[in-house]
Amino acid sequence: MDVSTTIAGVSLRNPTVLAAGILGTSADLLCRVAKCGAGAVTSKSCSLEARDGHPNPTMLDWGEGLINAIGLSNPGVEEEVKELKKAVGKSGVPVFASVFGKSPEEFAEVAARVAEAKPALVELNVSCPNVSSDSRLGGKIFAFDAKLVAKITDAVKNRVSTPISVKLSPNTPDLKEIAQAAEDAGADAITACNSFGPGMVIDVETGKPILSNRVGGVSGPAVKPLAVKCVYDVCSVVEVPVIGTGGVTNGRDAVEMIMAGATAVGVGSAVYYRGISVFARIDAEIKVFMDSHGYESLADFRAIAQQ
């Protein structure tokens, strides 16, 4: 039985991809996740300059999923390139480098710098705030604007030869149009999607929102049906491969994403729920499913929900 897959020419031994921002802060952690069975690993999004992010609390398990407002803390691209070089050399699986910037030019600059580390793919986190406010509520998100997404994609494609995936936001009614714009501008893959919301969790004892940022992105099991629909929509309009991300916790969830049309499957919050062994477990669970349904490769059931 073959669970290997290929994203933009990059071969993965299985379809699981560590999602950006989850354990991807150092080469050691990326290598550990690779050792634990991930098909590929994505680093935490990095920017040109270092960012502190928001003060704690920045993340909460609210029962049916996570809510987070880390604030895109990262050491800046110079430090990130050092970690990425180590991870690319040692991890044994494809390393995807996630980047973000304040403008198309800055995206291109950060992408060009991380490309020095020779990641297998550069993921553009266009789903982060692009204005001075760090709040998703107040900040505008690039991924809401098809023209901006195309501009960013085009700017990066003009600077780097590494394949790129554009990571979209699910929080727009224009998702199909935006995915199409990214593909038309040269995206080699689409990552669908970033976290949902923003949402809010209030501590009823204090009457105050728990996160220091008050609002944050919602992820994990609660968002899976929403994420599957996003992946289904994106796959109905683009031909490039899609990394289906959102709420995948077990092998059946991964199968659902692939049936919606995904070529690989991002796994983020599930690392908190099932531990770092989640990648090997999802891999094994996909194989059990395939065995019991007579499937020999992922292609046998990819996008069957689209028919």
Ligand X SMILES: Cc1cc2nc3c(=O)[nH]c(=O)nc-3n(C[C@H](O)[C@H](O)[C@H](O)COP(=O)(O)O)c2cc1C
Binding residues for ligand X, per CB under 6 A? 19-22, 44-45, 59, 66, 68, 70, 72, 98, 125, 167, 194-195, 219-220, 223, 245-248, 266-270
As given in the structure block, the two tokens for residue 296 are 């020999």
Residue number, 86 or 274, with CB nearest to ligand X: 274
Residue number, 108 or 141, with CB nearest to ligand X: 141
Residue number, 104 or 170, with CB nearest to ligand X: 170
- Nearest CA to 239 out of 146, 161, 303, 300 is that of 303
Contact 210, 202 (CB under 8 A): yes
CB of 19 to ligand X, least distance (A): 3
- Tell me the C-alpha distance between 98 and 110, whole Å: 10
CB of 217 to ligand X, least distance (A): 6
Residue of minimal Cβ distance to ligand X = 21
Residue number, 278 or 290, with CB nearest to ligand X: 278
Q: Print the SS3 string covering 260-305.
A: HCCCEEEECCHHHHHCCCHHHHHHHHHHHHHHHHCCCEHHHCCCHH
Q: State yes or no: is 235 an active-site residue.
A: no
Alpha-carbon distance values, 168 to 12, 126, 260, 285 (Å): 22, 6, 17, 27
CB of 207 to ligand X, least distance (A): 25
* Half-sphere CA count of 237, side-chain side, radius 13 A: 18
Under 8 Å CB-to-CB from 180, ≥6 apart: which residues? 146, 237, 238
- Tell me the C-alpha distance between 92 and 301, whole Å: 28
Alpha-carbon distance values, 188 to 2, 120, 152, 219 (Å): 23, 12, 13, 25
CB of 267 to ligand X, least distance (A): 6
The one catalytic residue among 31, 46, 128, 193: 128
Under 8 Å CB-to-CB from 307, ≥6 apart: which residues? none
CB of 127 to ligand X, least distance (A): 6
The rounded Cα 201 to chain-centroid distance in angstroms is 23
Residue number, 211 or 298, with CB nearest to ligand X: 211
Annotated catalytic sites, by residue?
128
